[in-house]
Amino acid sequence: MENSYGLSDLLSLKRVDAFTFIGKNYKTFWKRVYGGQVLAQSLHAANQTITNERFVHSLHGYFILAGNIEVPIEFKVENLRDGRSFNTRRVTAYQKGKAIFVLSASFQIDENGLDQYERSPASCKPESLKSDIELLKQAKAIPTQIKKYLLSRHPFAFEFRPEIDYDKSIDYKSTRNIWFRLKNKTKLCRNQQCEFLAYAVDYDLLIMSVISHFYDKYNDPVQTASLDHAMWFHRKFDVNEWLMYSMRSPNISGSRCLGTGYIYDRKGLLVATVVQEGLARILK
C-alpha cells in the first residue's frame, strides 16, 4: 500500500446486493489479513447502507479468526435500527463461509450540545521529527527480527513521526506520542475519513503494548494477535493533515494486553479515542 490511492482501492468493495459486499486483501509479509484492513472494510460496508447525513460515532469489533490473504472477504451487513437520530449496523466478514470478524457500528446526525475535552499532549512539531522507519532502523534496543516484522507491517499509505525514538520509549510505562498523516493528499468524504483512520490506528497499538516484554523478561517468544477493537469518533478531522496519536498500555494479564489511544488534531482537539485488547501469550 504505497499511497492513499492504493488504500482507496483496497477499501472500495464490490457490491453484490443491498447488504452484501466483496473485498480484496493487501498481501502482507506475515501472510494474514491486516486487522486494520478488515476493520476499515467492514466500516466501509456499513457506510454504504447509511444515508449521507448520518456519520459513524462509534464502532466495536471482534477478531474471530485469522484472515487468509489469498481468499476474498465477503461482508454481510445487518440493519439493526434506523431511528430519528441514530442508526445501528452489524457487519460480519466471512471467508469460505466462516466468520472471521464482526463489527457493530452506530451512526448519528450532527447535533449541537456541550463541549469539553482534554488537550493534546504533543510537545513537538511533526515537521521537526524523523520518520518511524528511520528511527526503527537506528534503534539499538529492538532485536533485528522484531525490526524486520515492524517494518514489514507498516501501512505505507501513511507516514508516522514519533516524538521520542524507540530506545527511549521502550518501557511499557511510557506514553508513546506519534504524529501521522496520509503521504499524498486525497479528497475524502467524512465517513471515508473514519475508514482511513480505522485502518491507520491498528498499526502500532498492540505492538506498543508488548514490545518491552519481547526480549527483556522472557526468553520465549510472545504470540500476539488482535482480539477486539473499539473506536469513538468525537469531532471532524482530516487524515491529510497531521494528527497526533497518543498511546499507552495500562495492563497486561491473562495472556492479554490492553492498549488505549487518543487522536488529536493539529489544534490540540481530541477527535477520536481507540481501545484495543490483544493476545500476549508466551510460547514455550
Catalytic positions, please?
204, 226, 276
For residue 258 the three cell numbers come to 490492553
Read off the DSSP letter of residue 163.
S
Tell me which DSSP letter residue 68 carries.
Answer: B
Residues 269 and 235: beta-carbon distance below 8 Å: yes
Residue 176 backbone dihedrals phi, psi, to 5 degrees: -105, 115
Long-range contacts: 118-122, Cβ < 8 Å, 24+?
A: 118/262, 118/270, 119/264, 119/268, 119/269, 119/270, 120/244, 120/246, 120/264, 120/265, 120/268, 120/269, 120/270, 121/175, 121/177, 121/244, 121/246, 122/163, 122/177, 122/179, 122/244, 122/246, 122/264, 122/268
Instruction: Determine phi and psi for 200, rounding to 5 degrees.
Output: -75, -40
SS3 182: strand
Residue 237 to residues 124, 189, 224, 268, Cα–Cα distance (Å):
20, 11, 30, 11
